[in-house]
Amino acid sequence: MTTGDSLNRGRGSEWFVPSFGSPGFRTAVGLLFLPYTGMVLSFSVIGAMMSRVIHWDRVAAVALIYFLGLGIGAHALDALGGKGNKPWGMVFTRRQLWSAAASSLAAAYLVALYYIIRYAPLLAVIAVLEGFFVFAYNLEWFKGRFHTDRWFAFSWGFLPVCAGYVIQTNALSMPLLPVALSMALLSVVEIKASRPYKELRKRGSALQEEEQAQAARYETILKSVSLGVIALGLGWLLFRLSLAP
């Protein structure tokens, strides 16, 4: 079996992976989980937009931090597999994945450290928590105790909203918490649909007609939730830009 065939039978058949290009290109794009990474970036933007005063460099900074830390770093660790599995096949070596994770996480924390020191010391608390979950969730430390839907929603739904607000204000607020909770609940919908969808897609052409219909339903849910959250974040961003002097 070729590398391309292995990719097509694994996660390479999922909807966010391009159907064109070399196995290396398709895997690199797939590893970013762009719609789901876009959800998390949108969560951070939504949190930032709740601040009375917007510092636009900090909006860009927190989005960059999560793109590096989650989009590249956490997903590279996830590709290593907490139990030795290789969900994306053998396109990239373990050394390449570790290098991508280490360099992207280092860059994310350098950006975060600048804003922690200069503007938002409270962001350090979120940075420590997210750093823990990057490894504990994706590498399934502690016998997978933190590799659950609940901790997924907290680390990649609730905390990014808080991070977006904290980097602006160096504070938390009561109105922020229900918004962060609502984004966490949307993350639950995403992960609950993603897990069975992934398992169905692994079987490729072996799916029965009913299972193909089920996979299509999960795919519709995933597209609706992820693209809906991205649209919500973009709407908040455009609204606040329209109010800027």
Residue 198 lies in a domain: yes
The parent domain of residue 206 ranges over 34-237
Residue 168 lies in a domain: yes
Report the alpha-carbon distance of residue 198 to residue 200 in Å, rounded: 5
- Give the tens place of pLDDT for each residue, 169-227: 999 999 999 999 999 999 999 999 999 988 888 776 677 788 888 889 999 999 999 99
Report the alpha-carbon distance of residue 165 to residue 58 in Å, rounded: 10
Q: How many percent of the chain have pLDDT more than 70?
A: 92
162-179: buried (b, 16+ CB within 10 Å) or exposed (e) per residue?
A: bbbbbbbbeeeeeebeeb
Q: How many domains does the chain fold into?
A: 1
Report the alpha-carbon distance of residue 53 to residue 74 in Å, rounded: 31
Residue 56 lies in a domain: yes
Residue 16 lies in a domain: no
In terms of DSSP H, where are the helices of 74-208?
Answer: 75-80, 94-118, 123-138, 141-144, 149-153, 159-169, 176-202
- State yes or no: pLDDT of 84 exceeds 80: no
76-96 mean pLDDT: 76
Residue 6 lies in a domain: no
Residue 243 lies in a domain: no
**Residue 81 DSSP SS3:** coil
Residue 12 lies in a domain: no
- Give the tens place of pLDDT for each residue, 124-169: 999 999 999 999 999 999 988 999 999 999 999 999 999 999 999 9
